């Protein structure tokens, strides 16, 4: 019987260059927690919604107090063997553009060049008033300086730069935009937010120009990723899925590999 690894290689060789879409499952081996279980359901509470972040100051204080402990995990994370294997396949021409739903930047750290961060990049900040961009490390250092009492708490990191702290957050002081005093937000697409149109268009075009789609480590529960599986299907392009558990596109996949990502890719 043909192995899962061979099945994947055959798919790549027959359809190269293949567009790749990656989700949280590829980064768990780098110590970044995944927020959905094998059935695509939330493991704990769902992440913050865009509207809540913008309109509810207490929720925003809670977000930043928790991020002081959760985000360093993202910031210091290193690419794993799967990220490196994909970067090599890209250099070899087997795969083309990597579209990622992850905001950890690990494909780029692994040496991949043609990458679209569909949901943004967690280490960048953007001001919601003046649009100024800044490194997230600055914001965190300013928050730490303003809130020493929140720095020494025991916490476990949760997905999305979050951590499991519950306390009175009302005293937390948020560092605002140094330009204009506006609200700073990580430059990522939150739930309830939309992916910028130009970014979606670039990703769709990349898929159109390639020989097929390979989805890795995503249950495709979020429409922003699922739409690419649909596009491949509508355009009669082959679709392969490598992920643990069921996905929203299993019924339209040409090849479905339910296995450990690293075991198949590396």
In the complex, least distance from residue 187 CB atom to Zn ion, rounded to whole angstroms: 13
What single DSSP character describes residue 119?
A: T
**Segment interacting with Zn ion, rule: CB under 5 A, options 38-46, 65-73, 145-153, 175-183:** 175-183
Kindly give the residue spans of alpha helices, DSSP state H, lying in 22-135: 50-55, 57-76, 81-91, 106-109
Pairing of strands 184-188, 115-117: unpaired
Q: What order do you get walking across the sheet with 184-188 strand by strand?
A: 133-135, 120-127, 184-188
Of residues 130-149, those binding Zn ion (CB under 5 A)? 130, 132
Does 127 show up as a binding residue in the annotation?
Answer: yes
Task: Tell me if 127 contacts Zn ion by CB under 5 A.
Answer: yes
Q: Which is nearer to Zn ion, 155 or 183 (CB)?
A: 183
Q: Which is nearer to Zn ion, 140 or 185 (CB)?
A: 185
E strand spans, the chain: 18-22, 95-100, 115-117, 120-127, 133-135, 157-158, 162-163, 184-188, 213-216, 239-242, 255-257
Out of 158, 177, 239, 264, point to the residue binding Zn ion (CB under 5 A): 177
**Segment interacting with Zn ion, rule: CB under 5 A, options 64-72, 119-127, 158-166, 235-243:** 119-127
Out of 49, 56, 108, 129, point to the residue binding Zn ion (CB under 5 A): 129
Task: Tell me if 32 contacts Zn ion by CB under 5 A.
Answer: no
Number of H helices, E strands in the chain: 9, 11
Task: Tell me if 253 contacts Zn ion by CB under 5 A.
Answer: no
Does 180 show up as a binding residue in the annotation?
Answer: yes
Does 143 show up as a binding residue in the annotation?
Answer: no
Out of 3, 6, 156, 179, point to the residue binding Zn ion (CB under 5 A): 179
Out of 137, 146, 151, 180, point to the residue binding Zn ion (CB under 5 A): 180
Length of the chain equals 266
In the complex, least distance from residue 183 CB atom to Zn ion, rounded to whole angstroms: 8
Whole-number Cα distances in Å, 52 to 84, 126, 166, 190, 223: 37, 17, 18, 10, 20
Q: Mention every residue, 6+ apart, whose C-beta is less than 8 A from residue 10.
A: 2
Does 130 show up as a binding residue in the annotation?
Answer: yes
Which residues contribute to the site for Zn ion (CB under 5 A)? Answer: 127, 129-130, 132, 177, 179-180, 182
């Amino acid at each position: 019987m043909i192995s899962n690894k061979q099945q994947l290689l055959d798919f790549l060789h027959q359809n190269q260059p293949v567009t790749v879409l990656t989700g949280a499952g590829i980064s768990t081996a780098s110590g970044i927690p995944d927020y959905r279980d094998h059935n695509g359901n939330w493991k704990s509470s769902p992440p913050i919604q865009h509207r809540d972040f913008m309109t509810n100051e207490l929720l925003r204080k809670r977000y930043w107090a928790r991020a002081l402990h959760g985000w360093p995990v993202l910031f210091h994370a290193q690419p794993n063997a799967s990220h490196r294997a994909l970067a090599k396949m890209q250099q070899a021409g087997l795969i083309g553009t990597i579209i990622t739903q992850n905001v950890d930047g690990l494909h780029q750290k692994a040496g991949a060049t043609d990458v679209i961060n569909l949901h943004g990049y967690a280490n960048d900040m953007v001001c919601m008033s003046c649009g100024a961009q800044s490194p997230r490390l600055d914001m965190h250092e300013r928050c730490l300086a303003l809130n020493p009492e929140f720095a020494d708490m025991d916490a476990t990191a949760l997905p999305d730069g979050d951590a499991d702290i519950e306390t009175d957050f009302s005293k937390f002081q948020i560092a605002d935009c140094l330009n204009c005093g506006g609200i700073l937000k990580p430059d990522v697409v939150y739930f309830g937010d939309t992916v910028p149109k130009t970014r979606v268009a670039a990703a769709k075009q990349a898929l159109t120009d390639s020989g097929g789609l390979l989805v890795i480590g995503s249950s495709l529960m979020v429409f922003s990723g699922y739409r690419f599986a649909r596009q491949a299907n509508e355009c009669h392009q082959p679709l392969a899925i490598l992920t643990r558990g069921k996905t929203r596109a299993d019924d339209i996949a040409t090849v479905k590999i339910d296995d450990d990502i690293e075991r198949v890719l590396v």
